């Protein structure tokens, strides 16, 4: 009996299997739908300025009330559109009355998103990673606790850990590709100017620098980027900034623009390759897996 036939037989014998498997598949479908929508927004989306008109209380947590911002903007046809961002949580709060940059599709303006990397990428990537991990855990439990199949250690080592590494590496690789495209777009179509590091922030053992510059309209702009070393976050350091005229807050420091996506691609790709080779070698050397 092949491993595919073995897994199918196990799933057929497991009671309540549909509910266990549907939850991660729902997360995966939602995640891939979000990432597909983000790709369409990046290609054909229009930019507009929106305003946070309200924060609606949706529940309570240990940290206080859960608030969902409501953003209003006017689309290209002159219609007033309101939407609630999909991405919510710590670091994604939007104060009532604040102005935000919105990106939307001309034919589907209610599917708008706040035009920042966090609001665009976090929901889809988080759902895909969570769905993949939960699905791997379900399969591991099926294999581990069904008589005559795998031991717990074998099931975890052969299914769960490779799935975690593949999903994590794949998510990191996808984020690297997305950032590469963003950097390439700024390099091809962006403007360059001089900026200055106005602050250095350390959060969760990572260092970020806040850069300020004046755009082509004479407006002051600030943006935050991760720093590879503390020296780069030295306050007062002059840097060259490149930015898109219609998205100045998504600027990049020209000399350091590629290190973030390159690191993500290298680590994510290495994790996936090593895991895939390990799975193939394990399957060849121990086909039964018992």
CATH number, position 210 = 2.40.50
Residue 166: inside a domain, yes or no? no
Pairing of strands 220-226, 206-214: antiparallel
**Are 115 and 16 part of one and the same domain?**
yes
**Are 143 and 11 part of one and the same domain?**
yes
Of 126, 149, 172, which closes a domain? 149
Residue 281: inside a domain, yes or no? no
In this prediction, residue 6 carries a pLDDT of 47
Global confidence as pTM: 0.51
For the chain, the 3-state helix, strand and coil shares in percent, each to the nearest 5, are: 50, 30, 20
In this prediction, residue 80 carries a pLDDT of 92
Residue 154: inside a domain, yes or no? no
In this prediction, residue 116 carries a pLDDT of 80
Tokens of 261: 């996506």
What's the average pLDDT block by block, 10 residues per block, for the chain (290 residues)? 44 52 76 87 87 80 67 90 80 76 86 84 81 73 60 59 75 80 83 87 68 90 73 76 82 82 85 79 62
Tokens of 112: 């708008």
Q: Decide: 67 and 55 in contact? Cβ < 8 Å.
A: yes
Residue 160: inside a domain, yes or no? no
Query: What is the residue whose two structure tokens read 């990046």?
Result: 42
**DSSP state string for 122-180:** HHHHHHHHHHHHHHHHHHHHHHHHSTTS--HHHHIIIIIHHHHHHHHHHHHHHHHHHHH
Residue 47: inside a domain, yes or no? yes
Count of other CB atoms within 10 angstroms of residue 151: 13
- Helix runs in the chain, H state only: 3-13, 17-44, 117-145, 152-155, 161-189, 259-285
In this prediction, residue 71 carries a pLDDT of 92
**Are 9 and 142 part of one and the same domain?**
yes
* Structural domain boundaries enclosing 56: 3-149
In this prediction, residue 275 carries a pLDDT of 79
């Amino acid at each position: 009996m092949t491993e595919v036939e073995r897994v199918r037989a196990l799933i057929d014998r497991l009671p309540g299997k549909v509910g266990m498997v549907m939850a991660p598949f729902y997360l995966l479908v939602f995640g891939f739908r979000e990432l597909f929508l983000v790709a369409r927004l990046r290609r054909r989306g229009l930019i507009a300025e929106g305003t946070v008109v309200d924060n609606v209380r949706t529940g309570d947590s240990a940290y206080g009330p859960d608030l969902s911002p409501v953003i209003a903007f006017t689309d290209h046809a002159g219609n007033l559109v309101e939407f609630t961002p999909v991405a919510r949580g710590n670091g994604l709060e939007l104060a009532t009355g604040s102005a935000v940059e919105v990106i939307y599709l001309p034919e589907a303006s209610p599917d708008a998103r706040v035009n920042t990397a966090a609001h665009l990428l976090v929901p889809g990537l988080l759902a895909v990673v969570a769905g993949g991990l939960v699905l791997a855990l379900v399969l591991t439990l099926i294999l581990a606790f069904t008589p005559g199949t795998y031991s717990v250690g074998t099931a975890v080592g052969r299914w769960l850990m490779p799935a975690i590494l593949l999903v994590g590496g794949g998510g990191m690789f996808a984020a690297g590709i997305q950032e590469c495209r963003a950097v390439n777009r700024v390099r091809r179509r962006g403007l360059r100017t001089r900026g200055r590091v106005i602050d250095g922030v350390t959060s969760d053992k990572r260092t970020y620098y806040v850069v300020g510059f004046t755009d082509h309209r004479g407006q002051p702009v600030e943006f935050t980027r991760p720093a590879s070393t503390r020296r780069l976050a030295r306050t007062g350091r002059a840097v060259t900034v490149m930015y898109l005229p219609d998205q100045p807050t998504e600027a990049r420091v020209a000399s350091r623009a590629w290190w973030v996506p390159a690191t993500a691609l290298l680590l994510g790709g290495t994790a996936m390759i090593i895991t895939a080779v390990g799975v193939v070698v394990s399957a060849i050397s121990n086909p039964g897996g018992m």
